[in-house]
Chains A and B, each alone.
Chain A
Amino acid sequence: METVTITMKNPPALYLEADNVSPDVFAGKTAAQIAELHVHEGNTTSTLGKYFDVSGNAGATAAETKIVVKGDAKKVKYLGMKMSAGELVVEGSMDQYAGAWMKGGKMLVKGNVDAFAATAMKGGELTIEGNAGNYLGAAYRGDWRGMSNGKILVKGNAGSDIGMYMLGGEMVINGNADVHVCTHAEGGKVIIKGNAKSKVGGQMVEGTIVVFGSIDTMMPGFKPVGETEMEIDGVKAKFAHYIGDTGERHKKKKGQIIYGNLYQKI
């Protein structure tokens, strides 16, 4: 594995769209070639090298390439977009669309990320050590295909509308989540170790939500069906089991209606 390190030397005045910062695009390129890749600041197009020092050459393929982003990337969007293999480490925080449309590989953000991280994610692993913004693992604006595979771990809190239109994969939030979890979801699993607020599972068709803490307001479309014991991340506990959203359409399998499942730790 070859490592390319890009270090912010000239922070942008506006937000910087750096969708070329991914092992797939870097693969096979030298540091000098990588510095020539384009980025957008507002309506101007310039090069990655204008904003970042680039050191180290990429590996021959994405899988053999690791990228480390150093310095202040708080105003940088789209790092790791569409990556399919390799590794990407962001030492600090970044702006929106972290690992959006990612298909494989590993991405680690040591700080916080803003909204739309892992939009329509299809595979790979995204770890955020800080907090995540709104629409984590959700569908793109207007689209009905959210995260469909892969794993997301947020060690801090997450914003609102996480897992909107989620189809598959797994998302773990160690902290709390804001309103709207798994709206319109048709699959996948979201685990919130902290508290949730309201609109949890609204219009959910299929999928699983697990909340360890409190839920401020339960959706009226969820129906309690008993208690169950589950082991999650090595912790065995008792959970109240709800099914829903009963106001939404549901598929039938072998004569049984398939609902979304919501578990809350007792």
Chain B
Amino acid sequence: MSEYIIRNGHVFDPVQGIKGDQADVAIKDGKIVDKIGSGAKVIDAKGKTVMAGAVEIHAHIAGPKVNMGRIYRPEDKLFTCTPTKGMERMGGGNSIPTTFKTGYEYAKMGYTTAMEAAMPPLFSRHVHEEIRDTPIIDEGAFPVFGNNWFVLEYLKNKEVENTAAYIAWLIRVTKGFAVKVVNPGGTEAWAWGLNCLSVNDPVPYFDITPAEIVAGLIEANEYLGLPHSLHIHPNNLGNPGCYETTLDTLKLAEGFKAKSKFGREQVMHLTHAQFHSYGGTNWGDFESKAKEVTDYVNKNKNITIDIGQVTLDETTTMTADGPFEHHLTGLNNLKWANIDVELETGSGVVPYIYSPNISVCAIQWAIGQEIALMSKDPMRCYITTDHPNAGPFTRYPRVIKWLMSAKAREAQVNAFKHKDKVLSQTSIGTLDREISLYELAQMTRAGPAKSLGLASMCGGLKPGMDADVAVYNFNPDKPVANPDDIEKAFSRCAHVFKSGVEVVTNGEIVSNGHKRTLWVNAKVKDNPQVMRDINEKFLKYYSMTQANYEALGHHFVPNPYTIEVDAS
């Protein structure tokens, strides 16, 4: 493998505490190394910013609901297709890009690892086929558990050990990475035409509450000691006043401590916090409760969050929160797709336009900014757009611009049609904090890597870690003349290395790298009861056999990276 030395760049690495000092980064055999021979290829990074490859903690980039969006939104590809060029295959799509475009776009922005945030277990084969076809970036996928019949039945009987054994089995057969929960109990209730809007609403038939599901899954997750914590999209997403449900959900983590050898400290990751920080009683008195949610998170170190920033674009919302999507189509009258996944979960898809001329959308934008700016620990608050729900991930450079420049935020606030309402319903006008490059590296690299339990592998530039490196055309010594220069610099990297292979040069793809699928193999004590229950459910309820369920072998996971966990 080639050797490289990236010379004289301004290095920002929270793992080693390097805050923009000029330093060299050496790469050998796919890893960051201390020293390198004289034959190494020299990359001149003088006057440029050097960071580890960025880590995406939550995006919807592979699987049946993403593909449902692609199928039923041909208009998303209108005028956005790019032909084959050099190393790049053809691609297209804006909010739901093709798999190839997804890989290229992440890489060009300096992202080298990404997590698919909701994998329906039944369709894990489809998820892995899309992951396989997404070049360059390492990917993992979170199977959803919050509405799964096994989980509901075991937790109703307080059988945490059985829940853990089932989780270990499911993550192994679906080649999953972490335990995801979406609207716990609510999506199952949706199959009965109902929903769970608070943590105490009972799930029909199963007679269990969301609170019991969440607390039980945290306990099972820590019993196993998985790399990542429970990753939750709470009940009551997107409704005025939903912040109370969010706080009730966060409180369920109280008393739990991380039991994991992977270095994470949290037991719960609250995703797309923006969608869960709404006050008011209707869309007229809709207001921000970002402070209430962020204050709680600041005080409780066993929680991490990502923001879910609204980017003010036309996009496609998609979530395993089926009832929410039905609610949304009633609000905007745009086309709605609904998918039921037998025994496990469901989902919905609706296009959405976050218009700067609509006060609710502008307030949503401000809430995302508030959460990021009010968070005191950038190692526990990460930048996302919940792609594509609040906006496409390709807008990260713009989100970075807003967070790094109070001037850019002010310009955006001034551009809103209902500026006064945004200022009265949020506190965006009082926040003058500007995120530093070091904090940015925490919020996009070291932080999410730590939360995912991947801190020893990626998110930093310490010798021994994977050589995932991004070099940006951004000189931290020079004052920013125009905030748009920030957006431009973070849109296209000068160089990107993935596991030591140069994949991007001057914003162009130069290699498809050696993409890996990250998955977790958790070993538990033999559990005949759970294995019998699984057999029985397949015989009794599933429309497929167990033999056709597992995502196994080269076709689905051609280049696996297995993280071993022993809970036996």
Contacts and interface: CB of A to CB of B under 8 A. Distances in A.
A142 B75 contact: yes
B333 A249 contact: yes
B74 A144 contact: no
A251 to B, nearest CB: 10
Nearest to A45: B83
A107 B334 CA distance: 32
Interface in A118-174: 139-144
B75 A143 contact: yes
Contacts of A141: 74-75
B334 A142 contact: no
Contacts of A143: 75, 78
Interface in B46-88: 72-76, 78
Secondary structure call for the B interface:
loop
B292 to A, nearest CB: 35
B555 interface: no
B333 A142 contact: no
B441 to A, nearest CB: 40
Contacts of A142: 72-76
B78 A140 contact: yes
A143 B74 CA distance: 8
B98 to A, nearest CB: 16
Contacts of A140: 74-75, 78
Nearest to B335: A144
B42 to A, nearest CB: 38
A143 B72 CA distance: 10
Contacts of B73: 142
B446 to A, nearest CB: 41
B91 to A, nearest CB: 16
B315 to A, nearest CB: 14
A110 to B, nearest CB: 29
Nearest to B77: A142
B274 to A, nearest CB: 26
Contacts of B333: 249
Q: Which of B76, B78, B334, B335 has the most CB atoms of chain A within a 10 A radius of its CB?
A: B78
Interface string B318-353: 000000000000000111000000000000000000
Nearest to B72: A142
B96 to A, nearest CB: 12
Nearest to A139: B75
Interface in B287-318: none
A259 B286 CA distance: 30
A258 B252 CA distance: 48
A141 B76 CA distance: 10
Nearest to B351: A144
Contacts of A144: 334-335
A142 B73 CA distance: 6
Interface string A240-266: 000000000100000000000000000
A144 B334 CA distance: 8
B425 to A, nearest CB: 25
Nearest to B73: A142
A142 B74 CA distance: 6
A249 B333 CA distance: 9
A144 B76 CA distance: 12
A191 B252 CA distance: 62
A144 B335 CA distance: 9
Interface in A22-81: none
A101 to B, nearest CB: 9
Contacts of A249: 333
A12 to B, nearest CB: 19
A141 B75 CA distance: 6
Contacts of B74: 140-142
B71 to A, nearest CB: 9
B10 to A, nearest CB: 42
A251 B387 CA distance: 32
Nearest to A40: B83
A141 B335 CA distance: 13
Contacts of B72: 142
Residue of A142, A143, A144, A249 with most partner-chain B CB within 10 A:
A142
Interface in A181-213: none
Nearest to B333: A249
A144 B74 CA distance: 11
B286 to A, nearest CB: 21
Contacts of B335: 144
Contacts of B75: 139-143
A131 B441 CA distance: 61
Interface string B509-547: 000000000000000000000000000000000000000
B328 to A, nearest CB: 15
A140 B72 CA distance: 12
Nearest to B78: A140
A78 to B, nearest CB: 12
A249 B330 CA distance: 10
Nearest to A141: B74
Given A141-B75, A142-B74, A143-B78, 4 more contacts: A142-B72, A142-B73, A143-B75, A249-B333
16 contacts: A139-B75, A140-B74, A140-B75, A140-B78, A141-B74, A141-B75, A142-B72, A142-B73, A142-B74, A142-B75, A142-B76, A143-B75, A143-B78, A144-B334, A144-B335, A249-B333
Interface of B: 72-76, 78, 333-335
Q: Which 4 A-B pairs have the closest CB atoms?
A: A143-B75, A142-B74, A142-B75, A141-B74
